[in-house]
Amino acid sequence: MLPVIFFIYFAIATTTLSILVITRKNPIHSVLFMLALFFHIAALYLFLNAEFLAAVQVILYAGAILVLFLFVITMLNLKMEVFTEPFIGEWPLSVSIGVSILLLIFLSIRDFLKGPLGPYTIDVIQQETNTKIVGKVLYTEYLFPFEIASIILLIAIVGAMVLAKKKN
């Protein structure tokens, strides 16, 4: 019973926070609500026995990516932003399209069929701890994608510097 109550709290909180993110006029408020949302999502990961991912969510998303957003917003000087119209003119159409796709997916969730179960039961994970077992899978089975991820990050660093550099 207790997990259900917790899940309902987190479901309501994440939904409300995500709606607040897209409706606030001030971008700083949006990003701060996003911060609260990321902490709630990290708590959901803890429910799902992904302790390392919960830590990564807080450190990387809340600590790095959102701070980057906040830096850019404070640098850009968006004083007039609160006085302008935040939505495009055709927003009721977009909202109705979104709600209808949502209903469509909800109707199809009922017919979801589970695939075969994998070897990593909760007992196996508890014996070896979550972080160790995730590391084992990441560095053996997914070693090549892991190396490609480093190239993606390198390209992002170089691209960001090239784009943001002033032409002289």
Partner 1 sequence: MVPLEWYIGLSTIIFMVGVVGFMIRRNLIIMLVCVELMLNAVNISLVAFSHYLQDLRGQVFVFFIITVAAAEAAIGLAILVTLVRNKGAVHTDEITDMKG
Q: Which of residues 19-58 bind partner 1 (CB under 8 A)?
A: 19, 21-22, 27, 30-31, 34, 37-38, 41, 44-45, 47-50, 52-53, 56-57
Interacting residues with partner 1 between 77 and 116 (CB under 8 A): 78, 81, 84-88, 91, 94-95, 97-99, 101-102, 105-106, 109-110, 112, 114-116
Smallest distance from partner 1 to CB 86, Å: 6
The encoded tokens of residue 153 equal 């990050």
Judged by phi (left if over 0) then psi (alpha if -120 to 50, else beta), residue 49 lies in left
Q: How far is the C-alpha of 122 from the C-alpha of 120, rounded, in Å?
A: 7
Q: In 24-65, where does DSSP find H-type helix?
A: 27-47, 51-56
Give the whole-angstrom CA distance, residue 111 versus residue 128: 35
Query: From the CB of 55, what's the least distance to partner 1, in Å?
Result: 12
Q: How much is the CA Rg of the chain, to the nearest whole Å?
A: 21
| Buried-state track 34-48, b at ≥16 Cβ within 10 A, e below 16 | bbbbbebbbbbbeee
Residue placing its CB nearer to partner 1 in the complex, 94 or 127 = 94
CB of 125 to partner 1, least distance (A): 8
Nearer to partner 1, 3 or 168 (CB): 3
Smallest gap from residue 168 Cβ to partner 1 (A): 13
Provide the minimum distance between the beta carbon of 127 and partner 1 in the complex, in angstroms, as a whole number: 14
Pick one of 14, 39, 58, 63: the residue that binds partner 1 (CB under 8 A): 14
Structure-token pair, residue 77? 């000087």
